[in-house]
Amino acid sequence: MSSQTDPSITATSVTAQVLGPTAVESCIRHELHHVRSHWWWFLALGILLLVSGTLGLVFPLVASVVAIQFLSILLLVVGVATLVGAFWTGRWGGFLVQILVGILYVAAGFVISDRPLLSILLVTYYVAVMFMAMGVFRIMAAMVIRFPQWGWTLLNGCVTLLVGLVIYRHLPMNAAWVIGLLVGLEMIFSGWAWIMLSLEIKKIPA
């Protein structure tokens, strides 16, 4: 009797092990094993998102205004940093492009700061599209990869998709407050997802 193994059987076994749910779960746990000692970072992130989302629900108009002002400041800082970096590195092939990008960032920051209501409306449109895309991505990732506590991410994706649809449907009447309210909801569900993932990582054997 031959001691050699049938190559087709070996290939089938390897394929089954690679594609099987048990092997996928083992692979995911192996990937998460190296962050087990830092599981509390994920927990802290989840708690921070949960608290911030709750504040967004309580003060939706304030959250909208703060988000817009933060965006304008962020664009101004990035624009100035881009301009400084362009002159710091000297003349090169992308010098002109960097200058134009920096000017565009600075101009956008000033426009958002001067026209906050119009900016809130435009940003709300952007957030609606972004939430819908994020929701679809999270749903697909949760159903395909099925990492630990993937059900929470699936729920998060469904909620995010619905949030995007609701934002888009209620524009432009409720743009002044809906962005703060729904961003708060998104942050709450994201926070719970991170909290549950951190607790699952903590359970991984050392």
pLDDT digits (tens, 9 = 90+) for 108-136: 888 888 887 788 788 778 878 888 998 89
Q: Which domain holds residue 176?
A: 39-202
Q: What is the model's pTM?
A: 0.51
In a domain, 3, yes or no: no
In a domain, 13, yes or no: no
In a domain, 33, yes or no: no
pLDDT band per the 50, 70, 90 thresholds, residue 185: confident
In a domain, 96, yes or no: yes
Whole-number pLDDT of residue 158: 92
In a domain, 195, yes or no: yes
pLDDT digits (tens, 9 = 90+) for 18-75: 444 565 556 656 555 666 667 778 788 889 888 888 888 888 777 777 778 888 888 8
C-alpha dihedral, 139 to 35 to 204 to 146, nearest 10°:
10
Q: Is 1 exposed, middle or buried (0-12, 13-18, 19+ CB in 10 A)?
A: exposed
In a domain, 19, yes or no: no
CB atoms within 10 A of CB 172: 12
Count the domains in the chain.
1
Q: For residues 201 and 167, is the Cβ–Cβ distance under 8 A?
A: no
